[in-house]
């Protein structure tokens, strides 16, 4: 009943920036937290960042600290600002929304970092 939709992916050169957006809708309750994960072919899904929707407390994965920032836009929408992108950031980026203790996943958006 909760729909999660990511947008903003694309092709960018190393050192460039992208901003991803995620919106969660359709639930009875607002999300308690929303986060980002990524997965490259042949690799496990990796934690990127998470934010609580009430207090705005954030946590970022070690591989993206200092370059990526998750932020709260509205009570059901978040951004992932990605700066100084590297080829190893290439992956499908997934958004997860936690609503009433249940997790809901988006279908992902492709980010490709290449010259």
pLDDT digits (tens, 9 = 90+) for 53-110: 999 999 999 999 999 999 999 999 999 999 999 999 999 999 999 999 999 999 999 9
pLDDT digits (tens, 9 = 90+) for 44-53: 999 999 999 9
Predicted local confidence at residue 114, as pLDDT: 97
Beta-ladder partners of 111: 10, 91
Q: Is 49 exposed, middle or buried (0-12, 13-18, 19+ CB in 10 A)?
A: buried
Predicted local confidence at residue 38, as pLDDT: 98
pLDDT for residue 1 is more than 90: no
């Amino acid at each position: 009943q909760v729909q999660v939709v990511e947008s903003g992916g694309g092709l960018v050169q190393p050192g460039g920036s992208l901003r991803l957006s995620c919106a969660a809708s359709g639930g009875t309750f607002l999300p308690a937290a929303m986060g980002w994960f990524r997965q490259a072919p042949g690799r496990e899904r990796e934690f990127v960042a998470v934010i609580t929707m009430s207090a705005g407390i954030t946590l970022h994965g070690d591989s993206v600290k200092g370059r990526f920032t998750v932020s709260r836009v509205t009570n059901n929408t978040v951004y992932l600002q990605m700066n100084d992108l590297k080829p190893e950031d290439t992956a499908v980026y997934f958004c997860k929304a936690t609503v009433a203790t249940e997790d809901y996943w988006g279908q992902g958006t492709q980010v490709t970092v290449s010259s």
